[in-house]
Amino acid sequence: MRSISIAVCVVISVAYSGATTAEEAVTVQSLLKQDFAIVGAITSPAGPGLFLQKKDRLFVCFVVETPSSPAVTTRYCKPVQ
């Protein structure tokens, strides 16, 4: 029963995530490829973050790295509304 509930939540989450997620995850790199520009940076309890903007669209992306990681990677990006 519990695994069915988890599966339903995953399906609902994917359904609401939109076409962009199905094609490519939203990352700093994917936004830069779409001609977004980095317009700011922050530090927060969630880690370092970047603001990326293209015209009237603004995203905040949080990044993560460790001393052993080969690169700084995107934790997640969300549109700012």
For residue 35, the model assigns a pLDDT of 98
Is residue 13 situated within a structural domain?
no
Q: Which domain holds residue 36?
A: 24-79
Is residue 18 situated within a structural domain?
no
For residue 48, the model assigns a pLDDT of 96
C-alpha closest to that of 52 among 28, 20, 18: 28
- The conformation of residue 46, written as its DSSP 8-state character, comes to T
For residue 22, the model assigns a pLDDT of 56
For residue 9, the model assigns a pLDDT of 39
Q: What is the mean pLDDT of each run of 10 residues along the chain (81 residues)?
A: 43 42 82 98 95 98 94 96 96
Is residue 5 situated within a structural domain?
no
For residue 16, the model assigns a pLDDT of 43
For residue 28, the model assigns a pLDDT of 98
Is residue 11 situated within a structural domain?
no
List phi, psi (to 5°) of 50: -125, 140
First-to-last C-alpha distance (Å) of the chain: 36
For residue 24, the model assigns a pLDDT of 78
Domain count, the chain: 1
